[in-house]
Chain A
C-alpha cells in the first residue's frame, strides 16, 4: 500500500468523485436533518434552527410517541428473535451440505433479497387478508368438519392490520438477512471442534450449545444487528400490514414529513433512529474487537 502523498494526483483522481458524492449527497442531507431536529417551524415551508430540544423531549416524553417507540423496539426484538431461531438451523444445514445442492440452497436464501420488498409484502397481504389463502384454507377445514352446522357460518379471522401481522411480515421479509452472517460463521467454524466435543463425551445437544453456539457468536451478533436495525426503521411493512394502531417509528416519521408537514419533529425522530443505529454498530465493533483473540 502506498502513502497518499507519494502520488497525490492519482490519489485525488480516484478518491474525489466518490468523496464528493458522499459529502454533498449524503453527509449534507443528513446534516440538514440533524440541524432541523433542533429547529422550529416558523411557517408552512420555513424552519429556523434555534437549538431547541423540544422535539427530542416531545418524542421521548409524550406518552403517545414513547409508546410507539417502545412498540417499535419490542416488535423488532421479537421478530429478530424469531428470525434467529428460524435461520440458525437453515444456516447450519447449508454449511454441512456439499456441492451443487449447497449452491442451490444458498441461492434460494439470497434470492428473496432481490425480490422487491414491496412485492414481498404485497404477496403476504394476499395470503393473510380475510379473503386470502389462510382463511380460505381454514374455511375449507371448517366446512369439511361440518362445524358450520354446529357453530354457524365460518367467520374469517382478522389476520391483517394488527401487530401480529406486522411481526409476521418483519420475520418473513428479514429472515434471509439473518441466514447469511450465520452461515458465514458456521462455515468458518472448524468442524473438528465439534468432533472433539463429541469425542470427549458431549452429546450432540451439548455440543451444539457449548461449542457451535459460542464459536459462531460473531455471526449471531452480526445477524441480530443486521436484522434489528432495518426492522426498527421499517416503514413499508407496518404501513401495508399494520392497522391504524400498528404503527412503528418509520410511519410517524413519514407522516411528519408528508401529511403533518412538521419537519423538525420528524427530523428528531429520524435522528433517534440514527443514534440507535450508531449504538448498534458500535456494539458490533466492540464485540468484534473483543472476540478477535478467539475468533475462528
Chain B
C-alpha cells in the first residue's frame, strides 16, 4: 500500500503528508470523542457521569422499564415505518415522472419539489403546527396509531423529496438505449419498466427508503411542533429528559437510537455506490 511505502514524497502525495494526516486525525477524534464517551458512559455504574465506576447495563434496564420512553419509541418506529413506505412509493413515482416526461415549467416544478429539503426545519415545523392546529383536523386524541397521523403526514412531506432526488439522480445515469433495446427485442413498455428500468432503479430506491427511515426516526424539530402530549416520539421524549437532567439513562436511550440509525445508514451506503447492481440469478 502506498501509505506504507518509504519512497520520497511526490509533490501531490498529500495523503502521505504527516501534518495533514495528523490534523485530519485530530479533527475526527474531536468529532467522535463526545459520541464515544456518551456511549461509554451509558455503561457506567456511577450516576455522576464523569468518573468510571465499573460496567453495568442497569441504565438500559431502567430505560426499558420507563413506560413513557418505550411508548415514545414504539411511536417513533411506527411513524418511521409508515412514513418510509408512503414516501418511497410517491417519491419513486415522482422521480420516474420527472425523468421520463417533459412538461411546461418543469425546472420550476423541480425546484419546488426540492424545496422541503432546503427550507429551514423550524419554518417547516411552525407551518405544520399552524396547519394542523388551526386549519385541519388530524386530532391528536384519536386512538393509536391514528393519533400519529399528523406527525406521519409531516414526516412524509419532508422525506419523499429526498427519495425523489436520490432516485432521480440514479435514473439520470440510465442509458436510454437499454430501454430501447428491450422494446426493440419485443418487450412492452410495462415489461421494459419492470425488467430493465426497475432493476436499475433498485439501489436508489433502497438507499432512498433507508434515508427516509432515518430522517423520520431522527426528526426532532418538525415533530416537536406537531406532537401532542400523548404522541411523543423518541427524540422529543429524550429532549424533555435532557432538559430535565443529564443521566446515564438518557445515554442508554441515545445509544440505542444511534445504533439503529447507524446500522440503517451502513446498509444505505452499501446501496449508494453508483454502479452497483445486484446480479439476478
Contacts and interface: CB of A to CB of B under 8 A. Distances in A.
Interface of A: 1-5, 7, 11, 13-15, 17-19, 21-22, 25-30, 32-33, 36, 45, 47, 86, 89-90, 92-93, 96-99, 101, 105, 107-108, 110-112, 114-120, 122-127, 129, 131-133, 136, 172, 175-176, 191, 194-195, 198, 204, 229-230, 232-236, 240, 250, 253-254, 257, 263, 266-267, 270-271, 273-274, 277, 281
B123 A33 contact: yes
B24 A90 contact: yes
B262 A118 contact: no
A25 B156 contact: yes
B53 interface: no
Contacts of B93: 13-15, 17-18
B238 A119 contact: yes
- Centre residue among B34, B225, B239 by max chain A CB count within 10 A: B34
B146 interface: no
Contact of B126 (A33, A86, A116): A33
A160 B137 CA distance: 41
B73 to A, nearest CB: 13
A89 B123 contact: no
Contact of A15 (B13, B97, B115, B124): B97
Interface in B209-268: 214, 218, 220-221, 225, 235, 238-239, 242-243, 246, 250, 254, 257-258, 261-262, 264-266
A17 B103 contact: no
A26 B34 CA distance: 36
Contacts of A125: 242, 246
A29 B90 CA distance: 19
A221 to B, nearest CB: 15
B154 to A, nearest CB: 7
Contacts of B115: 26
A129 B126 contact: no
A123 B15 contact: no
Contact-size category for B: 35 or more
A122 B122 contact: no
- Centre residue among A107, A114, A117, A132 by max chain B CB count within 10 A: A114
Rank and list the top 3 A-B pairs by shortest CB-CB distance, nearest first.
Answer: A233-B120, A18-B94, A29-B131
Nearest to B238: A118
Nearest to A250: B122
Given A1-B101, A176-B31, A233-B121, 14 more contacts: A1-B99, A21-B160, A22-B116, A114-B262, A122-B238, A122-B242, A123-B35, A172-B31, A175-B31, A230-B121, A253-B126, A257-B130, A263-B130, A267-B126
A118 B239 contact: yes
Contact of B235 (A114, A118, A132, A204): A118
B103 A93 contact: no
Nearest to B264: A114
A257 B129 CA distance: 8
Contacts of A234: 122
Contacts of B34: 120, 123-124, 126-127, 172
Contacts of B77: none
B63 to A, nearest CB: 14
B123 A233 contact: yes
B15 to A, nearest CB: 4
29 contacts: A1-B101, A18-B93, A21-B157, A25-B131, A25-B154, A25-B156, A25-B157, A32-B135, A89-B24, A92-B14, A96-B13, A98-B15, A101-B3, A112-B35, A115-B35, A115-B262, A116-B220, A116-B261, A118-B235, A120-B34, A120-B35, A122-B238, A175-B31, A230-B121, A232-B120, A236-B239, A263-B130, A270-B122, A270-B127
Contact of A117 (B94, B96, B126, B218): B218
Contacts of A229: 118, 120
Contacts of B147: none
Given A4-B101, A123-B35, A195 B120 contact: no
Given A29-B131, A129-B246, A93 B20 contact: yes
